[in-house]
Structure 1
């Protein structure tokens, strides 16, 4: 004889039958990719550790009913003794289907969680582009999008950028 356990399916989220929020990753894609090696082949023969400057920006917008696009823009520039070794720019985005998500949770999801989902894929593209350009792969450190978002909120801007 099996015992039946009432899990309270009608009140599973504790909010009197309110539907649970759902997030669907509809598609991820590179919108723009650029790699420049303006001083080749000299830049490929340089010795020493290059100086690398990385900038990150996040943008989000509504793309349709319940569909939102989150964009992650990464720019990296390497210089060696004042000469540009390479510049790589990537605009990587994803479409996310969001249902039953409270309005106040949309922006934090789109500029914190969505970029966190997109980042590993963008990181690989950057690494592959620099490797294919003749340099060691540029392996970007993980980004704390929540801290970036909070810093931008304290600064009073709506767009997250320049990590």
Structure 2
């Protein structure tokens, strides 16, 4: 009896909005001002193994802050998550899969959630630009290596 190598498997099980919040600290006065906002976006990803390394939850967290005339016009926090079944993937490929590929799949859903929330808040439409999650993942690896070298 020969053991056959396990074929790599990847399946998206579910995508869901895990958390969302929207604040308009200057309402209603913010709606009476000329609208020329400065928008900043912070993003982060996190991963959690759900069962013996077969299912993983990947969460993409976006924080969008719009400032108008020096004041915060609105603040949105969205956590878009997904459950992914991953089996037979070599350890060297698991990091990029969870850190870049999965967040790339989640981003359009997070982008839509942000756009809907902004519109429902009575602000002009906001469409977030695409994100290169491969570059974001590579940068996070560089930062981790730098921290490890600094602590050594």
Query: Same fold judged by TM-score > 0.5?
Result: yes
Any unmatched runs of 5+ in structure 1? 1-15, 158-163
| 1:48 positional shift | 3.6
Q: Which residue of 2 aligns with 1:135?
A: 123
Greater C-alpha radius of gyration: 1
| 1:115 positional shift | 0.3
Distance in structure 1 (CA, Å) of the matches to 2:91 and 2:140: 19
| 1:81 positional shift | 1.1
Which of 110, 116, 136 is 1:122 aligned to? 110
| 1:142 positional shift | 0.4
Matching of residue 149 in structure 1 with residue 134 in structure 2: no
| 1:106 positional shift | 1.2
Q: Normalised by the size of structure 1, how large is the TM-score?
A: 0.82
Distance in structure 2 (CA, Å) of the matches to 1:49 and 1:26: 41
| 1:137 positional shift | 2.1
Matching of residue 81 in structure 1 with residue 69 in structure 2: yes
Q: Which residue of 2 aligns with 1:31?
A: 18
What SS class does the counterpart of residue 18 from structure 1 fall into?
coil
Task: Provide Cα deviations, 1:103-127, integer angstroms capped at 9, x if missing partner.
Answer: 2211110110000000001100000
Which of 105, 117, 120 is 2:93 aligned to? 105
Matching of residue 43 in structure 1 with residue 34 in structure 2: no
Q: Which residue of 2 aligns with 1:64?
A: 51
What SS class does the counterpart of residue 27 from structure 2 fall into?
coil
Q: Which residue of 1 aligns with 2:149?
A: none
- RMSD over aligned Cα, in angstroms? 1.5
Task: Provide Cα deviations, 1:63-113, integer angstroms capped at 9, x if missing partner.
Answer: 113000111000001111111110000011100001111122111101100
Question: How many residue pairs end up in the alignment?
Answer: 142
The structure with more helix, counted as a fraction of residues: 2
Structure 1 segments (4+ residues) deviating >4 Å: none
Any unmatched runs of 5+ in structure 2? 146-152
Q: Normalised by the size of structure 2, how large is the TM-score?
A: 0.88
